Chain A
Amino acid sequence: MAINRYTKMAYGSADEMVFGKSKFPVKAGLGLEIGAGYATPEVNYAPRPEAGASKEKLVKEYQRITTDIMNRMVQVGFPSVVLETEHVEQMTNNPTWGGAVAHAQKEIMEEFHDEYGIKCALRHTPGDIREDRDFLELRGDKFNTLMESFEEVASNGADLLSIETMGGKEVFDYAILRNDVPGMLYAIGCLGTIDMDFIWQEIASVAKKNNVLAAGDTDCSEANTAMFIAGGLLDKNLAHTLAIIARAISAPRSLAAYEAGAVGPGKDCGYENTIVKSIAGVPIAQEGKSSTCAHSDVMGNLVMQCCDLWSNESVEYHAEFGGTSVQCWSESLAYDCALMNTATATGQEKTLRDLMVLSDKYRDPQGYVLAYDNAYRVGEAIVKDGNDIYLRAKNAALKSIEIMEEGVAGKLELTRFEKGALADAKEALSGLTDDKDTFMSDCMAKYKEEVKVFLPENYGL
């Protein structure tokens, strides 16, 4: 499939964006429409480690998980649900395992849909197994196995196909630990996008062939790494101002999936998804206050602002006082969605959206830039040079810096360290060329020298 870059915004203004509704909703699975005016919980889970011992044990585990979630949805009366199975490595490396799990899950979901009419869909997210012990191996045998996995799950019941790709991570890991913003730009914006262009054309072809949806990628491997290293307010591992610059750069990378044929809904852990939605108009999944079972962030309410699916990120399957873990978290997610859908039904959706945004907007520079009004501005900076994968990533970084500087002049408080990192990043970016080929050539020389595990052939370079 061809690559079609975005050079204009899907929405005329930021205020048009709201949860539960997207410019281009998608129909999926059993009676579900995503982004068509209502928000839906998306439950994500991990099997207990011992369940990975055999195909049979794993299938049984996912049957239990699926039954538990569907039962709880019906018991408490929720109208729709999406289940996301993020593969454990055994499932992707053995494509028929993933297929068997998808088939078993879909059978159960069909029974519930037939009996109760609950709208539901199944997302499968194979793991990006394209690595060996020493190097990324983005093209070759492992890529072929990965595509077999997509084929197996798509032909056995998965409605939505996603992945969290690793392209660019070898350079990113080096750069992020050295405050190297041009390196982050090269890793995420350039190498990451090149890999996304490559893999998402293939995934979109598999989806089309099987009449399911290519549902998008996130920059989990890079922007989320930055967010997690940055941590909370008191952590000193990475300036939060740098984490949000990495996040801004990740938006054009995640956008590349849609440019190669994906239609959404985007994956939950892509905190950059509000920016992506502003450009592509696709429905998105998000995670925040109801994913604390998996990790902490500093924008738990804000990130719900424009979600179409609302996810818990992941929880290991085990017992809690309120039932199994997947039952507890699915119920919490579904109540969140009920509130959003009530706001929509009463015409109060923009008020609820803005209350959620305001509760976190000044908590941290990450939330400030991702607030939908500012996210939209980052989107505009990206499409301005939408055909140039380097310039649009650089634009995103510079715009996020500009937004933070405005914030500091207002109600956003930053520490001196955060301001210092911001100033350093601005200086580093301002000194860069506007010519993509020059930048790519300079970076190739620098990172081949400094990052011994960087193999340009992974990117066709």
Chain B
Amino acid sequence: MTSLDIDPSEILVRYNVQMEKAMSPEDAAAELYPTDELYRPIAEAIFEGEEDDVIEGLEAAIDAGKNPIALIDDALMVGMKVVTDLYDQGVIFLPNVMMSADAMLDGIEFCKDQSDEAPVSKGKVVCHVAEGDVHDIGKTIVAALLRANGYEVVDLGRDVPVDEVIEAVKAENPIMLTGTALMTTTMYAFKAVNDRLLEAGIKVPFACGGGAVNQDFVTTYELGVYGEEAADAPKIADQIVAGAALDALKEEFHKH
């Protein structure tokens, strides 16, 4: 390198450093954990993404007389909400959410195994990657964030034929359908899905995003709601559960 050098503060601003929260993630989480001595270790284990500790905490709670299915809402989802809230606030990063979601799902499976009852989710969402497109990391993130927020996800995978999407929507009756695509050449399948759903008289909100997908394209079909980032998916679902119609969803999530 030559002798050229600069004071970088004159030509760039590290806004992320400026805006950093004073509180560490662990400190922030500690303020949000439930106080119940049986629930708290489970919530902490969810935050840490430690599957074994989650199961251990659940076993202790069940031994103490707690209902396994009730533990899903009272402990697992409470712990997960700590994680998703801190992610929304910019205190923790996506991989923390993914690891916590893995731990939570293990915990839910354990609770289901311990009971004959079935848990009730906030709602069912069908997720897929557009036909012709095998890039699925965006869909994986969307599905994890939806599950982390208490939704049941029917994950159809990647490169999903339009017919299969339509059949799944008919069979599962979801509150929302999501579609991700990386390539402009594949996202046209979203239009076909939209048209086929309308032909069948199904007006389910269809949240679309990823790679080359943009708001202009999504607004060209009636059921489309554009999700600029994966974290929008649970927010759109929450609005649907709260009763928002398509127009209201577009008003809120179409930002450009």
Is B12 a contact partner of A363 (Cβ separation < 8 A)?
yes
B4-19 Cβ-contact flags toward A at 8 Å (1 or 0): 1111100110111101
Is A234 a contact partner of B4 (Cβ separation < 8 A)?
no
Is B94 a contact partner of A237 (Cβ separation < 8 A)?
yes
Query: What are the residues of chain B within 8 A of A371 when measuring CB–CB?
Result: 1
Q: How far is the CB of B84 from chain A (nearest CB, A)?
A: 12
A67 contacts chain B at the CB level, 8 A cutoff = no
> Quick one: which of B64-114 are within 8 Å of A by CB?
87, 90, 92-96, 98-99, 102
B182-204 Cβ-contact flags toward A at 8 Å (1 or 0): 01111110000000000000000
Nearest A residue to B90, CB-CB: A236
Q: How far is the CB of B6 from chain A (nearest CB, A)?
A: 5
Query: What are the residues of chain B within 8 A of A413 when measuring CB–CB?
Result: 14, 17
B24 contacts chain A at the CB level, 8 A cutoff = yes
Is B4 a contact partner of A177 (Cβ separation < 8 A)?
no
Nearest B residue to A294, CB-CB: B212
- Complex CA gap A49/B214 in Å reads 14
Query: What are the residues of chain A within 8 A of B157 when measuring CB–CB?
Result: 133-134
B20 contacts chain A at the CB level, 8 A cutoff = yes
Query: What are the residues of chain A within 8 A of B184 when measuring CB–CB?
Result: 46, 49, 316
Query: What are the residues of chain A within 8 A of B20 when measuring CB–CB?
Result: 415-417
Most chain A beta carbons < 10 A, residue from B15, B17, B25, B185: B185
- Complex CA gap A240/B102 in Å reads 23
Most chain A beta carbons < 10 A, residue from B2, B15, B16, B159: B16
Checking B17, B92, B144 against A236 with a beta-carbon cut-off of 8 angstroms, the contacting residue is B92
Is A177 a contact partner of B141 (Cβ separation < 8 A)?
yes
Q: How far is the CB of A339 from chain B (nearest CB, A)?
A: 18
Q: How far is the CB of B13 from chain A (nearest CB, A)?
A: 9
How many positions in chain A have a CB within 8 Å of any CB in the partner chain?
47
Query: What are the residues of chain B within 8 A of A173 when measuring CB–CB?
Result: 136-137, 140
Is A234 a contact partner of B99 (Cβ separation < 8 A)?
no
Query: What are the residues of chain A within 8 A of B95 when measuring CB–CB?
Result: 176-179, 238
B124 contacts chain A at the CB level, 8 A cutoff = no
Q: How far is the CB of B220 from chain A (nearest CB, A)?
A: 12
Nearest A residue to B134, CB-CB: A131
- Complex CA gap A355/B157 in Å reads 46
Query: What are the residues of chain A within 8 A of B96 when measuring CB–CB?
Result: 179
Is B1 a contact partner of A415 (Cβ separation < 8 A)?
no
Is B4 a contact partner of A133 (Cβ separation < 8 A)?
no
Q: A177-B94, A178-B98, A237-B94 are in contact. Are A354 and B2 (CB under 8 A)?
A: yes
- Complex CA gap A49/B2 in Å reads 47
B158 contacts chain A at the CB level, 8 A cutoff = yes
B132 contacts chain A at the CB level, 8 A cutoff = yes
Checking A89, A131, A239, A414 against B93 with a beta-carbon cut-off of 8 angstroms, the contacting residue is A239
Given contact pairs A133-B160, A238-B95, A413-B14, a sample of 18 additional A-B residue pairs in the complex whose CB atoms are under 8 Å apart: A46-B184, A46-B185, A50-B188, A132-B159, A133-B159, A134-B157, A173-B140, A176-B95, A178-B98, A229-B94, A234-B90, A237-B93, A238-B93, A238-B94, A350-B2, A351-B4, A359-B11, A417-B25
28 residue pairs A–B, Cβ–Cβ below 8 Å? A15-B1, A49-B188, A89-B132, A133-B134, A133-B160, A177-B137, A233-B15, A233-B16, A236-B87, A236-B93, A237-B94, A238-B95, A239-B93, A316-B184, A351-B2, A351-B4, A354-B1, A354-B2, A354-B4, A358-B4, A358-B6, A359-B11, A362-B8, A363-B12, A411-B7, A414-B17, A417-B20, A417-B92
Query: A: which residues have CB within 8 A of B?
Result: 14-15, 46, 49-50, 52, 88-90, 131-134, 173, 176-179, 225, 229, 233-234, 236-239, 316, 350-351, 354-355, 357-359, 361-363, 371-373, 411, 413-417, 421
